[in-house]
Chain A
Amino acid sequence: NAGVTQTPKFQVLKTGQSMTLQCAQDMNHNSMYWYRQDPGMGLRLIYYSASEGTTDKGEVPNGYNVSRLNKREFSLRLESAAPSQTSVYFCASSAVGISYGYTFGSGTRLTVV
């Protein structure tokens, strides 16, 4: 099925461990995004990539790094996980521009203990 694929779906990390969340889209979209969703906080933008080869910080970038590997793939890396990074992470992509037409993946539920 066409869309945005995120892996893994669930992950438990110990404090200080590192990991990379993977995201791939097969819709030939130019722009990709990483959001985190916490109870009562809505969706907060971590990083985004307006086009292949560019990345920009969002509202809550601290503790994260991203890589736009190619047009299809946009990964999110936690170098040293902290309990405050326990969250549900969503990747999204858009075709027309960075402002609208978002398609979201189904999310990665991350727990840091």
Chain B
Amino acid sequence: QQKVQQSPESLIVPEGGMASLNCTSSDRNVDYFWWYRQHSGKSPKMLMSIFSNGEKEEGRFTVHLNKASLHTSLHIRDSQPSDSALYLCAASPNSGTYQRFGTGTKLQVVP
């Protein structure tokens, strides 16, 4: 079974709305979490990474991490149609090793 679980599988939000995506690792041997965005037909590009408890904000994107529950969430405010993509969460034991990916959340932002 997937060791990195993402929810929901798909999400539709109106333009200007807030999108909230979730990710949990069942492997306790992880310390780093990564969020990637993959537009259709393109390769994944890293959005944000987090390894400390708490919150990290970059522009319209905010990431939360609870290390005790190994749960991270990505929030996109003022969502734009260009945000429509597959959002992948990944976890790794440190910053230099391979990452284990979830199956992603497909986000669609409708005008």
A and B co-occur in one complex? no
- State the A residues within 8 Å of B (CB): none
- State the B residues within 8 Å of A (CB): none
